[in-house]
Amino acid sequence: MIVMKFGGTSVEDAKAIGRATEIVRGRLKEHPVVVVSALAKVTDQLLAIARSAATGDSKTALQLVEAFSQRHYEVAGELLAPARFTQLREDLGRDLGALNDLLRGISAVGELTPRTTDQVAAYGEILSSKIVAAAFSTRGLDSCLVDARACTVTDANYMRAAPLIDDTNERLQKLVAPLVDKGCVPVMGGFIGASKAGVTTTLGRGGSDYSAALVGAGLSAERIEIWTDVDGMLTTDPGICSNARRIEVLSFDEAAELAYFGAKVLHPATVLPAIQKNIPVYVLNSRNPTCEGTKITARAPKSRHMFKAIAVKKGITIVDVAAPRWLQLDGFLKWIVDAFARHSVSVDVISTSEVSLSVTVDTNEGIPSLTAELAKLADVKYEERKAIVCLVGENLRRTPGVAARVFRELEDVKIHMISQGASEINLTFVIAEEDVARVVERLHRAFFSDRVSDMAA
Ligand code: ADP
Ligand code: ASP
Ligand code: MG
For the Cβ of 190 lying below 6 angstroms from any atom of ligand 2, the answer is: yes
Question: What is the distance in A from the centroid of ligand 1 to the CA of 171?
Answer: 30
Question: 30 CB contacts (<8 Å, ≥6 apart)?
Answer: 1, 2, 222
Q: Ligand 3 center to residue 205 CA distance, Å?
A: 8
DSSP letter for each residue of 140-176: T--EEEE-HHHH-EE-S-TTSPPB-HHHHHHHIIIII
Q: What is the pLDDT of residues 386-424, one digit of tens each?
A: 999 999 998 888 788 888 999 999 999 999 999 987 778
Q: How far apart are CA 430 and CA 408, in angstroms?
A: 16
Residue 43, ligand 2, Cβ within 6 A: yes
Name the CA radius of gyration of the chain, rounded.
23
Beta carbons of 156 and 195 less than 8 angstroms apart: yes
Instruction: For residue 435, report the distance from its CA to the centre of ligand 1, in Å.
Output: 21
Q: For the chain, how many helices (H) and strands (E)?
A: 16, 17
- Point out the residues of the chain with pLDDT beneath 50: 455-457
Sign of the Cα pseudo-torsion (210, 214, 216, 217, in order) = positive
Q: What pLDDT does 457 receive?
A: 32
Q: What is the pairing mode between strands 2-6 and 32-36?
A: parallel
Check the CA dihedral 232-235-240-242 and report its sign: negative
Domains of the chain, start order: 13-222 (3.40.1160.10), 309-448 (3.30.2130.10)
User: Can you give the pLDDT at residue 448?
Assistant: 87
pLDDT in tens, 113-161: 999 999 999 999 999 999 999 999 999 999 999 999 999 999 999 999 9
Nearest-CA residue for ligand 2 atom 2 is 206
Q: Taking the CB of residue 3, how many other CB atoms lie within 10 A of it?
A: 27
For residue 44, which atom of ligand 2 is closest to its CA?
Answer: 4
Exposed (0-12), middle (13-18) or buried (19+): which is 182, by Cβ within 10 Å?
exposed
Instruction: Identify the bridge partners of residue 285 per DSSP, sorted by sequence position.
Output: 228
2 backbone dihedrals φ, ψ, rounded to 5°: -130, 160
* pLDDT confidence of residue 327: 67
- The ligand 2 atom at the shortest distance from the C-alpha of residue 7 is 7
Pocket test for ligand 1, best of 39, 211, 265 (most atoms within 8 A of CB): 265
Half-sphere exposure (CA, 13 Å, Cβ side) for 16?
A: 22
Q: Which pLDDT does position 451 carry in this prediction?
A: 53
Residue 455 has a pLDDT of: 43
Under 8 Å between Cβ of 186 and 233:
no
* CA 276–ligand 1 middle distance (angstroms): 24
pLDDT of 423 reads 73
